[in-house]
């Protein structure tokens, strides 16, 4: 089910005395539906929420991520916006997971994201638990061949879907899809915590040729990480970027299902994101695992907004 974009979310402070240079997101965002959607000729962001935490529930996590998309929008509403230096943003509302029917919501998600890609939008998908990632990847795979996956996450999310798809299985399911469809699986996972992944997960990552950067490696040499990332970016024509907010230290990002010890700083995450944007190859970004119920002063949602601002730069 698709829930129409709600213009009432996009309200905030007005600085009319400053004219155009005082603009904020809520003054420029356009709400849109998929009816008669036309292709865009210039770079244009399409925000789409994925209101689901069914994957988190199935993965025995702390539910609440289904309400994240509107909290992220709220955190974006007062961000400054320059018509000259930023690209247009449209809000397409939310794909909604009804009750436990993640599979139907995913079908809708693949259709909607695929349409946005075909109409040349840059989709930014607001999760949702990390189950959000699978539909995004499958939509990309419908439209592009050589996809490099970058996941900024404390966890590999390479669990075997024993009882169906969960927030812990999406990258395993992508690998499985690739095997079934004779495609290559290229997965670069950055921010991994040895305390957050069992030996089985490290082993699976190794078997699937996953390129891993540990959180500690970033703490000791961010430049080296960016260099390693650059080499991965060079090898692929299309990049899919997923950001699981639990990669950030729990002190910065308490509003997640599984808060992180020894996690990354906002600056480290932003540097990684900037490097990926500079490649000009990114076709889709998702930000997942915000759980507003555990957030403090909306600081995790504000971090998500802080990172989203990077993608709007022309």
Which residues sit in the known binding site for Mn(2+)?
A: 130, 153, 155, 157, 244, 246
- The CA distance from 95 to 47, in Å, is 11
Work out what residue 61 binds among Mn ion, ligand NIG, none; the CB cut-off runs from 5 to 8 Å by kind: ligand NIG
Does 173 help bind Mn ion (rule: CB under 5 A)? no
Which x/- pattern, by CB under 6 A, does the window 182-221 give for ligand NIG?
----------------------------------------
φ, ψ for residue 135, nearest 5 deg: -60, -35
Does 61 help bind ligand NIG (rule: CB under 6 A)? yes
- The CA distance from 3 to 9, in Å, is 13
Residue from 233, 258, 284, 304 that binds ligand NIG (CB under 6 A)? 258
Residue from 131, 244, 249, 295 that binds Mn ion (CB under 5 A)? 244
Output 80 or 194, the one with its CB closest to Mn ion: 194
CA 49 to chain centre: 10
Q: Which residue has the tokens 């400053």?
A: 18
Output 152 or 282, the one with its CB closest to Mn ion: 152
Nearest approach, Cβ of residue 95 and ligand NIG (Å) = 19
- The CA distance from 45 to 48, in Å, is 10
Q: Are 250 and 228 in contact (CB under 8 A)?
A: no
Q: Are 46 and 94 in contact (CB under 8 A)?
A: no
- The CA distance from 112 to 75, in Å, is 24
Does 168 help bind ligand NIG (rule: CB under 6 A)? yes
Chain length of the chain: 314
Residue from 54, 157, 173, 286 that binds Mn ion (CB under 5 A)? 157
Q: What are the residues facing 122 on neighbouring strands? A: 45
Binding footprint of Mn ion on the chain (CB under 5 A): 130, 153-155, 157, 244, 246
Binding footprint of ligand NIG on the chain (CB under 6 A): 59, 61, 130, 155, 157, 159, 167-168, 258
């Amino acid at each position: 089910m698709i829930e129409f974009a709600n213009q009432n979310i996009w309200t905030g402070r007005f600085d009319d005395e400053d004219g155009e240079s005082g603009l904020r997101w809520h003054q420029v965002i356009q709400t849109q539906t998929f009816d008669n959607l036309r292709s865009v000729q210039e770079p244009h962001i399409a925000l789409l929420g994925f209101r689901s935490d069914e994957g988190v529930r199935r993965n025995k996590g702390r539910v609440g991520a289904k309400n994240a998309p509107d909290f992220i929008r709220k955190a974006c509403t007062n961000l400054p916006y320059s018509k000259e230096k930023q690209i247009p943003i449209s809000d397409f509302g939310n794909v909604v997971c009804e009750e436990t029917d993640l599979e139907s919501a995913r079908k809708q998600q693949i259709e909607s994201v695929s349409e946005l890609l075909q109409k040349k939008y840059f989709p930014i998908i607001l999760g949702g638990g990390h189950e959000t990632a699978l539909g995004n990847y499958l939509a990309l795979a419908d439209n592009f061949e050589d996809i490099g996956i970058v996941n900024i996450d404390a966890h590999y999310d390479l669990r075997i879907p024993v009882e169906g798809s969960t927030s812990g299985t999406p990258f395993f399911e992508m690998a499985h899809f690739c095997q079934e469809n004779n495609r290559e699986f290229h997965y670069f996972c950055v921010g991994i915590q040895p305390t957050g992944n069992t030996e089985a997960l490290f082993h699976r990552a190794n078997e699937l040729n996953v390129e891993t950067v540990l959180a500690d490696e970033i703490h000791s040499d961010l430049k080296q990480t960016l260099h390693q990332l650059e080499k991965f970016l060079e090898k692929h024509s299309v990049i899919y970027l997923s950001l699981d907010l639990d990669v950030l230290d729990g002190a910065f990002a308490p509003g997640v299902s599984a808060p992180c010890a020894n996690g990354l700083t906002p600056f480290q995450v932003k540097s990684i994101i900037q490097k990926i944007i500079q490649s000009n190859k990114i076709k889709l970004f998702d930000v997942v695992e915000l759980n507003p119920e555990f957030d403090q002063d909306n600081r995790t949602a504000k971090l998500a907004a802080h990172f989203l601002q990077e993608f709007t730069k022309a």
